[in-house]
C-alpha cells in the first residue's frame, strides 16, 4: 500500500512537517510505503478555468501538479498537511489541490483522504474543513483520529512539544491504515459501490 503525503507549508521541516513525519513513522511500522512531497514552497499558479484538462488529460500548465497526478492515481491514501494562514490553508496548497483534483479524471472513489493542520493558536477547524472538502466531493472516505487533526506550534519545531497533537497524528495514521486495508478487502470481495449516472442540475438554466 502507498500513501502520498503533501506538505503545504513553505517551510520544509516546520511544524506541518513534524505532524506529517509523525504519521509517516506509523505508516512505515505498518509496512505502508510513503512519500512526502513538498508543495508549499513551490511556485504554483491557480486554476484559470480554461477546461483544457478535459481535452489534454492533464493540466495545461506543466508543473508539480502534472508531476503528482500519476502518484495520486497510484496511491491508496492521500494526506494533506497545511499551516493555518488567516483561518485558511496556504494559498499555494489550495491552488495545487484545486488543479490536481480538477485535472485528474480518474475515479477517486474509496481512495482514503486525511488532512492535518498546524497553527500557533486558532483557525485550525476552518482550515481542516476546507481541506476535507477536496476529499468529500470526490467520493473519498475521510480518515479521522482522536480529535480534529491538528497540532500547535508557532516557531519551527515547537510542535514537538504538543504531546496530544503528536498522539493524534499517530492515531490518525493507524486509523488510516485500518481503513485502507478494510477497503482493499471489501473491493476484492464486493467491488466498488455502484455509481449512477450523474444528475447535474443548475440553478440557472
Residues 6+ apart with CB under 8 A from 67: none
Distances (CA, A) of 6 to 12, 39, 77, 199: 11, 6, 11, 32
Other CB atoms within a 10 A radius of the CB of residue 50 amount to: 11
Q: What does the pLDDT read at residue 103?
A: 98
In CATH, what number does 2-190 get? Answer: 3.40.50.360
Q: Which residues of the chain have pLDDT under 50?
A: none
The per-residue pLDDT for range 70-116, each reduced to its tens digit, is 999 999 999 999 999 999 999 999 999 999 999 999 999 999 999 99
| Residue whose C-alpha cell is 481541506 | 131
Q: What does the pLDDT read at residue 32?
A: 98
Q: What does the pLDDT read at residue 148?
A: 95
Q: What angle separates helix 124-136 from helix 91-103, to the nearest 10 degrees?
A: 10
The per-residue DSSP string of 99-120 comes to: HHHHH--S--TT-EEEEEEEES
Q: What does the pLDDT read at residue 204?
A: 80
Q: What does the pLDDT read at residue 205?
A: 66
Amino acid at each position: 500500500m502507498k500513501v502520498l503525503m503533501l506538505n503545504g507549508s513553505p517551510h520544509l521541516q516546520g511544524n506541518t512537517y513534524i505532524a506529517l513525519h509523525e504519521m509517516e513513522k506509523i505508516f512505515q511500522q505498518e509496512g505502508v510505503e510513503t512519500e512526502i512531497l513538498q508543495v508549499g514552497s513551490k511556485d504554483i499558479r491557480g486554476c484559470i478555468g480554461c477546461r483544457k484538462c478535459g481535452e489534454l488529460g492533464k493540466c495545461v500548465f506543466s508543473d508539480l501538479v502534472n508531476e503528482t497526478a500519476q502518484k495520486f492515481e497510484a496511491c491508496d491514501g492521500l494526506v494533506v498537511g497545511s499551516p493555518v494562514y488567516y483561518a485558511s490553508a496556504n494559498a499555494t496548497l489550495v491552488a495545487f489541490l484545486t488543479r490536481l483534483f480538477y485535472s485528474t479524471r480518474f475515479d477517486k472513489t474509496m481512495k482514503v483522504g486525511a488532512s492535518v493542520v498546524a497553527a500557533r493558536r486558532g483557525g485550525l477547524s476552518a482550515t481542516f474543513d476546507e481541506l476535507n472538502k477536496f476529499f468529500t466531493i470526490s467520493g473519498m472516505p475521510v480518515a479521522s483520529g482522536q480529535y480534529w487533526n491538528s497540532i500547535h506550534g508557532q516557531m519551527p519545531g515547537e510542535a514537538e512539544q504538543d504531546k496530544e497533537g503528536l498522539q493524534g497524528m499517530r492515531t490518525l495514521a493507524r486509523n488510516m491504515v485500518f481503513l485502507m486495508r478494510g477497503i482493499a478487502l471489501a473491493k476484492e470481495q464486493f467491488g466498488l459501490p455502484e455509481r449512477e449516472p450523474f444528475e447535474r442540475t443548475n440553478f440557472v438554466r
